[in-house]
Amino acid sequence: MNSAKSVVNFPLTQSSSTTSERYAGANPVFVLQDNPVKNKTALNPARRRAAMRISVYEAFPAQVYATLTGGVFMPAFALVLGANNFYIGVLAAIPFFANLFQLAGAYFVENYPWRKKLCIVASSIPRLAWVPAIILFLLLVPQSAGTTLGIFLAFLILGHALLAISGVAWLSWMTDVVPENIRGRYFGLRNSVVSIATVITTFAGGWFLDLHQGSRTAFGILFLIAAAAGAACMMLLIKQPELPKRLLPPSERFFQHYLEPFKQPNFRRLLRFSIVWQFAFNIASPFFVVYMLTELGMSYSLAATFAVVTALFDLIGMRVWGHVSDHIGNKPVITISAAAVTILPWLWLATEKNGFSFYWLIPLLHIAGGFFWAGYNLCSANILFRLSPQSRNSVYFGAWAACNGLAACISSLLGGALGRWAAHHHLDFVLFSWSGLKIVFFVTGALRLIAIFLLRPVKEPAGMRTLHAIRVLRSVKSWALMMGDHPALQFFIPEHDSPKTASKNAKDEMLWPLFGRRGKNAA
């Protein structure tokens, strides 16, 4: 499926498909200084590894929740409630509109030592609130489709706003916890757990809906399971060690720093690319599921099976791109992945309600989408970590999320309007003619192509140039060498670390593998 996860619930992301919500923690109060102050409460290797491990464990129930309350299930539930294409666009816009609340989250993160409490409370309230919400939708809500959809959308807006506040604290914290030179591998591992959770949840949920003919009661049971997964997340977060947070000194006003990210030329270039990309992507992102269920007439279980295929290759892609990005940098991976996923919407134009599409073309689109979206999602988050300064990084994360969220929100609303218009029109282009949602797919592909050119001016510290990275990838005889960090790889990828940097990297490398023997010795 041509969809992206958020990782950083980017998905991104929920991105238009799924967004894993993130959280974090904080303990004592520190004052921001130019030179870090040593303190006894900083994470030692054992506590750092504990925090990283728990975050991996927590990824599974977090994604169970995100999948059941997003992805293929949310637009399907909206259709059951009587939503049209415009409502689907509004539904897709809600998570991105809620990203504006990350600015409020950044304010709390920079001024108060509440990261752990903030994230547990802000993420747990909307998750556990599904219990009374389902009772409301099943028993108390009038049968009027307009009223039901209105209450449903209001509930989602409040929930995503709280999740956005928790997300910025999680990003700030994990940037401190995970050493820079192993972030690709670590988040590749964590996102692999996300993919496994997506596979299991999507397949089981799709089968369950088909078993009960997609009734409201069946959806209600799935949402109750999501609430239980949210409770499991809360319990894991309570156990998760936290990192001290340096706060702004009283003499500095936080609001003065809101404009700081926009004064950095390189960050502005990255932000410009990301805004255009989000706009291009989200015009069509919620409609691939709708297209399969309505225009192609797929069952819930078959649509869920294709989502499982995407998640499986996302799992493979996270491992591959995580190792590759640690060697060649994030920008080359983003460029390669973005170029690949730009082509996918145009290939959807060739799909029809026939055996070739169902058994060959659509599966291949989901395979390619899962693999290349994994690279884009992973590295777009990691390059943001790399370009954001250690101090006040939550301001950068908040600005990033707010700008991208606003672009995605506008795009989703326009996509909803375009989808409703396209349902009654045809588009003739050269020798081709398309109607319905295929018009939307053509538009999103064209806009993605424009966005790719905006990535070129972005500079990534310690990253390879894209053409050089492509030559490196072509020169390696077997990618297994790179995946295993084989010494022979150094022939293709020379090191330029100073003795001081090399010493720090060696110390950080002792944390990896996270569950391996060397990691246990490092603890």
Distance, CA of 191 to CA of 194 (rounded, Å): 5
Residue 10 placed within a domain: no
Residue-range definition of the domain harbouring residue 487 = 465-492
Distance, CA of 100 to CA of 93 (rounded, Å): 12
Instruction: Give pLDDT, residue 268.
Output: 92
Residue 6 placed within a domain: no
Q: Are residues 417 and 343 in the same domain?
A: yes
Q: Are residues 456 and 469 in the same domain?
A: no
Q: Judge whether residue 6 has pLDDT over 50.
A: no
Q: Are residues 336 and 482 in the same domain?
A: no
Residue 521 placed within a domain: yes
Residue 15 placed within a domain: no
Instruction: Give pLDDT, residue 140.
Output: 57
Q: Are residues 157 and 186 in the same domain?
A: yes
Which of the listed residues 407, 439, 461 is the one where a domain comes to its end? 461
Instruction: Give pLDDT, residue 141.
Output: 55
The two beta strands, 29-31 and 426-429, are unpaired
Report the domain count for the chain.
3
Instruction: Give pLDDT, residue 87.
Output: 81
Which of the listed residues 445, 461, 477 is the one where a domain comes to its end? 461
Q: Are residues 297 and 155 in the same domain?
A: yes
Mean model confidence pLDDT for the chain? 77
Omega prior to 75 cis, within 30 of 0: no
Question: How does pLDDT run across 116-166, given as a tens digit for each residue?
Answer: 788 888 999 999 988 888 877 766 555 566 777 888 888 889 999 999 888
Contact (Cβ atoms closer than 8 angstroms) between residue 500 and residue 508: no
CATH number of the domain that residue 404 is part of: 1.20.1250.20
Q: Are residues 360 and 291 in the same domain?
A: yes
Q: Are residues 361 and 483 in the same domain?
A: no
Distance, CA of 66 to CA of 14 (rounded, Å): 8
Q: Judge whether residue 34 has pLDDT over 50.
A: no
What is the number of other CB atoms lying within 10 angstroms of the CB of residue 280? 25
For the chain, give the percent of residues with pLDDT over 70. Answer: 76
One-letter amino acid identity for 444? T
Q: Are residues 69 and 204 in the same domain?
A: yes
Residue 402 placed within a domain: yes
Residue 4 placed within a domain: no
Question: How does pLDDT run across 336-387, given as a tens digit for each residue?
Answer: 999 999 999 999 999 998 888 898 999 999 999 999 999 999 899 889 888 8
Q: Are residues 343 and 484 in the same domain?
A: no
Q: Are residues 200 and 321 in the same domain?
A: yes
What's the distance, CA 162 to chain centroid? 17
Question: How does pLDDT run across 215-252, given as a tens digit for each residue?
Answer: 888 898 999 999 999 999 999 988 887 766 666 555 45
Q: Are residues 145 and 114 in the same domain?
A: yes
Residue 13 placed within a domain: no
The two beta strands, 18-19 and 426-429, are unpaired
Contact (Cβ atoms closer than 8 angstroms) between residue 314 and residue 371: yes
Higher pLDDT, residue 171 or 441: 441
Instruction: Give pLDDT, residue 422.
Output: 82
Distance, CA of 326 to CA of 347 (rounded, Å): 31
Instruction: Give pLDDT, residue 484.
Output: 54
Instruction: Give pLDDT, residue 40.
Output: 40
- In 3D space, the residue among 455, 44, 60, 519 whose CA is nearest the CA of residue 274 turns out to be 455
Which of the listed residues 461, 481, 512 is the one where a domain comes to its end? 461
Q: What is the mean pLDDT of residues 434-462?
A: 89
Residue 3 placed within a domain: no
Cα angle 84-90-91, degrees, rounded to a multiple of 5 = 85
SS3 14: coil
Instruction: Give pLDDT, residue 299.
Output: 85
Q: Are residues 301 and 185 in the same domain?
A: yes
Instruction: Give pLDDT, residue 289.
Output: 85
